[in-house]
């Protein structure tokens, strides 16, 4: 009897010992928890994108706005999580989950003209689908989504290039209202960042001329003029730090549009960005943009003192 009792106690200890090996602190359990967390995050990312894209493809503007808001909220929520950003980048290789083509095909490149009705449409058994035009709020949201996608995922810049994004955005910049113009300038910066293809398109579409046109337009909103000047200064600074920029002709364009002296000072100033911290650089950028718009407006004989 004593032998049987000892054997039973031995087996109990072995069982308890095995349980301790599967404690929450063991590598196997930790790996399982990590895997479950990754799968949960993947489901959340996929669900958010599918829900937003379903509405963003709708025929009615209010549904598309709802979808764009869902996607924009999702992008803001993942911006602080490296693991979520990696998952988002992975999803953008799946055609059904790609955001950029949807916002171009359904909002940014949408025709404003009314549908043409003929007798065949009226007598047809199949109901004709009518898509409501994109509102100002919808276009602004779409541009913010485009900006977020390109900042989080470089492949979105490639998708934007395939949608002829530069041409579409420059058209919006010159034809839409203040809200869309501000969002458009931010989106242009995002899609051109480290994208030689989009930068080349910008030069081919004479983007510098269009930006300068906004800066010179005294009837335009003052905030848009300032934002356009900031865009120009950021663009020149980015071009100057590259050995062989795609927009090699930008220097001659600036000289032609703003004059030799002013252009020379702008180019020289843009080379000193690394000497300031981000907050100082942003402050300097605002000051320089104001000086540039003032110079263009009043045709001062002296170019403003620009510095980075």
Question: Where is average pLDDT lowest: 21-25, 135-139, 287-291?
Answer: 21-25
pLDDT of 179 reads 94
- Reference 127, options 115, 109, 110, 135; nearest CA is 115
- Which is more confidently placed, 287 or 1? 287
pTM, two decimal places? 0.79
Any idea which residue has 């356009």 for tokens?
228
Say whether pLDDT at 304 is over 60. no
- Angle at the Cα of 101 from the Cα atoms of 97 and 105, rounded to 5 degrees: 125
Percent of the chain with pLDDT over 70: 72
- The HSE-up count of residue 84 (CA atoms within 13 Å, CB side) is 16
pLDDT digits (tens, 9 = 90+) for 210-264: 998 898 888 889 999 999 988 988 888 776 555 455 666 777 888 888 777 777 7
Domain ranges of the chain: 208-308
pLDDT of 117 reads 45
One-character DSSP codes across 82-93: HHHHHHHHHHTT
- Reference 101, options 146, 45, 47; nearest CA is 146
CA-to-CA separations, 114 to 56, 67, 124, 132, 262, in angstroms, rounded: 20, 23, 19, 9, 46
Q: How confident is the model at residue 40 (pLDDT cuts 50, 70, 90)?
A: confident
How far apart, in Å, do the first and last CA atoms of the chain sit? 90
Q: How confident is the model at residue 112 (pLDDT cuts 50, 70, 90)?
A: very low
Say whether pLDDT at 167 is over 60. yes
pLDDT of 160 reads 96
- Which is more confidently placed, 296 or 72? 72
pLDDT of 1 reads 55
CA–CA dist 238, 236 (Å, integer): 5
Any idea which residue has 């981000």 for tokens?
278
Question: Where is average pLDDT lowest: 27-31, 160-164, 180-184?
Answer: 27-31
């Amino acid at each position: 009897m004593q032998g049987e009792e000892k054997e039973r106690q031995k087996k109990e200890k072995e069982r308890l010992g095995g349980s301790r090996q599967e404690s929450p602190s063991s590598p196997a359990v930790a790996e399982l928890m990590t895997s479950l967390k990754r799968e949960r995050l993947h489901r959340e990312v996929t669900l958010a994108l599918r829900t937003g894209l379903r509405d963003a493809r709708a025929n009615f503007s209010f549904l598309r706005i709802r979808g764009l808001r869902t996607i924009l909220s999702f992008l803001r929520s993942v911006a602080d999580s490296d693991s979520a950003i990696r998952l988002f980048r992975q999803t953008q290789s799946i055609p059904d989950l790609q955001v950029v083509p949807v916002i171009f095909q359904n909002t940014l490149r949408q025709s404003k003209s009314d549908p043409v009705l003929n007798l065949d449409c009226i007598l047809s058994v199949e109901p004709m689908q009518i898509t409501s035009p994109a509102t100002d709020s919808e276009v602004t949201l779409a541009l913010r989504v485009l900006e977020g996608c390109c900042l989080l995922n470089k492949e979105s810049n490639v998708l934007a290039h395939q949608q002829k994004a530069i041409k579409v955005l420059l058209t919006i910049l010159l034809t839409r209202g203040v809200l869309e113009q501000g969002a458009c300038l931010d989106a242009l910066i995002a899609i051109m960042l480290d994208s030689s293809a989009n930068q080349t398109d910008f030069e081919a579409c004479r983007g510098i001329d269009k930006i300068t046109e906004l800066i010179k337009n005294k009837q335009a909103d003052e905030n848009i003029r300032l934002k356009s000047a900031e865009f120009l200064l950021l663009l020149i600074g980015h071009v100057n730090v590259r050995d062989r920029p795609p927009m090699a002709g930008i220097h001659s364009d600036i000289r032609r549009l703003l004059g030799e002296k002013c252009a020379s000072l702008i180019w020289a100033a843009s080379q000193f960005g690394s000497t300031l911290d981000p907050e100082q650089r942003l402050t300097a950028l605002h000051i320089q943009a104001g000086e540039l718009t003032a110079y263009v407006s009043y045709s001062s004989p002296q170019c403003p003192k620009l510095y980075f």
